[in-house]
Structure 1
Amino acid sequence: MTPDSRVRTVVVIPARNEADRIPACLAALAAQSALDLAVVVVANNCIDATEAAARAAATAAGMRLDVVNVTLGSEEGVGTARRLGCEHALRSWPAADALLFTDADCLTGADWIARNRHHLTRVAAVCGRVNPMPEELFVLKDMDIPLAEMEGRYEALVTAFYRRHRPGPLGLDGEHAHAAGASLAVRRDALQAVGGFADLATGEDRDLVRRLKATGHAVLHAGDVTVTASCRLDGRARDGMSAALRARADRTDYLIDDALPPAERLIAARDSGLLGPWPPLVTPQDRLRASDLLPHIRALEAALDMTSTCGVAH
């Protein structure tokens, strides 16, 4: 079959047992009137009607859709699913110059495709802002608010530290610090230059962003590119967003985001000139618990001379 040369944008969506969510995800994309669009749903290890639901939604919307059915091994995960989706997209639509990524439990903003395409005219990749679905925030009603506020404050300090001490393409160009596969867009040439997604069970999105930045590709963390993501606690990716939310909802001490290093590590990296690309990667042994954050908050406040505006009780 002759490839469709009209397709310039391909959205790749990993989906595992997402029959209930994939129709709304595809409908949000179809509503954007992108005539050059094709979608690849990577149905991995599905035992429900994900494929049938996706095909029905695409047919109703007049959407170009391919479903790639794969069975992944126990050590594989969403990184492999995204990689296989990319390979299919690049083979099927050789004229496509932009690959966009979201998740099956996300709803893209009304102009998500257009805004991504706009930014890709000047940068190699775009990280969008990921917001929670307001109607699902109730699942976090039991969250330990003081611990959540502590983590939020530390995240803000780490981000501020990076903005000050890691300028340039390795740092944070844009309005937020997200680097999630729920909203990611990459030019074809840049994706191929760094070898695409790695076969990681989780964290494949941040890994790709780090490699893009480390090889000189400009990445924009765009505030006008948005998706809303599910707050469900029974997610599909091992150690993914749902696992993180579940840990916070359990009202127990938990490991904070693995992109938030200990303060002394950040300061030492700055002092040695070895502060790497955003987002940083924290090794398992260096992960911090929420209950241990106060001294790290104080250390970064001191490093940023922000003690007087901290807002955290000492």
Structure 2
Amino acid sequence: MIGILIPAHNEEDLLDECLSAALRASKHALLAGEPVEVLVVLDSCTDRSAHIVGRYPVLNLQIEARNVGQARAAGARLLLERGARWIACSDADSRVADDWLVAQLGLGADAVCGTVTVEHWHESLDQAAQIRYQSQYRGCDGHRHIHGANLGISADAYRWAGGFQPLACDEDVQLVRELELSGANIAWSHRPQVHTSARLDSRARGGFGDYLRQLAQL
């Protein structure tokens, strides 16, 4: 079984598109019918996120941590208990491509770090900020970006690395660093495609939204 892990904190505006995309990816013909379970970890949600998730054929886990590292760790633990051989991570403000899982698995690696494409640039991010972003971002194979919105790990490699740590941000970076130390084969690939939001009100302090905000302030 393949698991798709999506943490969410008050994501009612973007969950529909996120889950629709994840379910399309889960049904790709090249998966040859292998079961895929989508799990949304609802962390301290006070909006309609739980109601929206309930409309889809996905699993949900509710926690009160307000911590993305704890949310990802709890979700990964549940997916492993249910027999996942591969955990594909994304975010609730992102849309994975239809062949996202196929692209990750096709690389034959212990873990895959993919890239993201920003869409719907926030009005506060003027053309100069967008140019700064594009000049610093490598959307190609061999990049060294780490995104929780586009990360895949085999069950064995995840266990070797010790799993996600309870960090308020950069839990994905920490996991990849531990994967490197464990000797895991990591693919730094542009093949698995994910579109992500350019919102500035990031759910995790120090996350992608804060990075974009810094670019806007330069």
**TM-score of the alignment, normalized to the shorter chain, above 0.5:** yes
Q: Which structure: greater strand fraction?
A: 2
1:140 maps to 2:153? no
Q: Which structure: greater helix fraction?
A: 1
1:10 maps to 2:3? yes
Query: Which one of 104, 109, 128 corresponds to residue 123 of structure 1?
Result: 109
1:197 Cα deviation from its structure 2 partner: 0.4
Aligned with 2:11: secondary structure? coil
1:144 Cα deviation from its structure 2 partner: 5.0
- The answer to whether the Cα contact below 8 Å between 1:41 and 1:68 also exists between their aligned partners in 2 is yes
Aligned with 1:225: secondary structure? coil
2:73 corresponds to which residue? Answer: 83
1:235 Cα deviation from its structure 2 partner: 1.4
2:53 corresponds to which residue? Answer: 54
1:20 maps to 2:13? yes
1:107 maps to 2:107? no
**Which structure 2 residue ranges, 5 or more long, are not aligned?**
none
State the identity %. Answer: 30
1:66 maps to 2:42? no
1:86 Cα deviation from its structure 2 partner: 0.5
Code of the residue aligned with 1:199 in structure 2: it is: P
- The answer to whether the Cα contact below 8 Å between 1:128 and 1:222 also exists between their aligned partners in 2 is yes
Distance of 2:69 and 2:135 partners within structure 1: 27
Query: Which one of 152, 156, 164 corresponds to residue 197 of structure 1?
Result: 164
Code of the residue aligned with 2:20 in structure 1: it is: A
- The answer to whether the Cα contact below 8 Å between 2:162 and 2:178 also exists between their aligned partners in 1 is no
Kindly provide the CA deviation profile for residues 129-166 of structure 1, in whole angstroms up to 9, marking residues without a partner as x: 11101x335441175578x37x946x77xxxxxxxxxx
- The answer to whether the Cα contact below 8 Å between 2:11 and 2:49 also exists between their aligned partners in 1 is yes
Query: Which one of 211, 215, 218 corresponds to residue 244 of structure 1?
Result: 211
Runs of 4+ in 1 over 4 A off after TM superposition: 142-146
1:195 Cα deviation from its structure 2 partner: 1.2
- The answer to whether the Cα contact below 8 Å between 1:19 and 1:54 also exists between their aligned partners in 2 is no
Count of residues in Structure 1 that have an aligned counterpart in Structure 2 = 211
**Which structure 1 residue ranges, 5 or more long, are not aligned?**
1-7, 157-172, 254-314
Alignment map for 1:1-314 (pairs within 5 Å): 8-32=1-25, 33-34=27-28, 35=33, 36-56=35-55, 58=56, 63=57, 65-72=58-65, 77-91=67-81, 93-94=82-83, 96-119=84-107, 122-133=108-119, 135-136=120-121, 138-141=123-126, 143=128, 148=132, 152=135, 174-249=141-216, 251=217, 253=218
- The answer to whether the Cα contact below 8 Å between 2:122 and 2:200 also exists between their aligned partners in 1 is no
Code of the residue aligned with 1:15 in structure 2: it is: A
1:194 Cα deviation from its structure 2 partner: 1.4
- The answer to whether the Cα contact below 8 Å between 1:139 and 1:231 also exists between their aligned partners in 2 is no
Aligned with 1:107: secondary structure? strand
Code of the residue aligned with 1:19 in structure 2: it is: E
